[in-house]
Amino acid sequence: MPSPRSILVFGAINQDEVARVARHPLPGETVVTDSIELFPGGKGANQAYAAAVVGGAQVTVQMAGAVGDDAAGTLALQSLRSAGVDTTLVKRVVDTPTGRAYICVTEDGENTIVVGLGANAFVSPSNLLLAQRPSVAVAQTELGTISIEAFSEFAERTGARLVLNDGPVVELSAAALSYADPLVVNEHEALELLGGQAPAGPDPAVAGRLRELFGCRSVIVTLGSRGAVLADESGTRSHPAARPPAPVVDTTGAGDSFIGALAAALALGADLDEAVTTANEAAAVSVTVRGARAPLSAITDGFKTRSTQAGVR
């Protein structure tokens, strides 16, 4: 049986190098900045961090991945451990740099990102040999198709609920997609999955079409400041975005905060609608600070209040 209230995140661990710019450069253009900052990052690590902070002492979170034998790898592990993430499944790869993400952020908080895999290229299904049997399994596709296919099979074999983030978009098997509960993509990734042909009608139609096309158990499409839409066997519906508690300064990692909080809520017994509400709150907080990780512990209090009222244990 899966361990109750446990989450396993399988994904990339990076160091983010963030340049704040007045605007994104055009092709062939150089833009100068006087602000470059380093932050712990990587989609997998960001999601594990958010899940651990939102879940708190009630949830155990394991991270499976790889870092290099450099200072960036040491800092990445320290950041995860500071949030309570178990990093025993993270390899340290000799003579290899930790993954890097090169990020440009404009004054309105929008970003562009280029990722160098580094040690993430050495992540494989072997990382999972000593993994606990989680109740929720979380993966993103920075690691590529083969590893994520194997992780999906691991989740199904162990009875875990698979939260699958197809971002960046890669081609996955029908079996992997059908087990996703939910498949989570942003609106750009949703359009790419639909071959650039979005269905006519309101936003929920996009989530419904993805679920119909790929046979997923459920689908969530995140829409930034417009919130998220959800499609499952009960139908499709919209969830409005939460209001950020402060001005937006950096949207980097907002989707990762969303997914980490979503996983924590599901591990604690919330239904998908309640989990999306919690995830939207986490995303709203995350855009008010620089870097991909935010102080999300306040989200836990709001979730506990609502879940108690709804009878969630």
Domain range summary for the chain, segments of one domain joined by +? 6-310
d(CA 23, CA 18): 14
Q: Could you tell me the mean pLDDT of each successive run of 10 residues in the chain, 313 residues long?
A: 85 91 87 85 94 92 96 95 95 96 82 89 89 94 91 95 93 92 94 78 83 95 93 94 79 87 95 95 84 63 52 48
143 and 123 in contact (C-beta within 8 Å)?
Answer: yes
DSSP state of 191: H
Catalytic member of 70, 181, 203, 256? 256
Q: Which fold has domain 6-310?
A: UDP-N-acetylmuramoyl-L-alanine:D-glutamate ligase (3.40.1190)
DSSP-derived 3-state class of residue 183: strand
Q: Which residues contact 218 (CB under 8 A, 6 or more apart)?
A: 180, 181, 182, 183, 211, 230, 231, 232, 233, 272
Beta bridge partners of 89: 64
166 carries an active-site annotation: no
Sequence-distant (≥ 6) Cβ neighbours of residue 284 within 8 angstroms = 241, 242, 243, 244, 245
Buried b (16+ CB within 10 A) or exposed e, 182-221: bbbbbbebbbebeeeeeeeeebbebbbbbbeebebbbbbb
Q: What is the pLDDT of residue 313?
A: 46
The answer to whether the pTM exceeds 0.95 is no
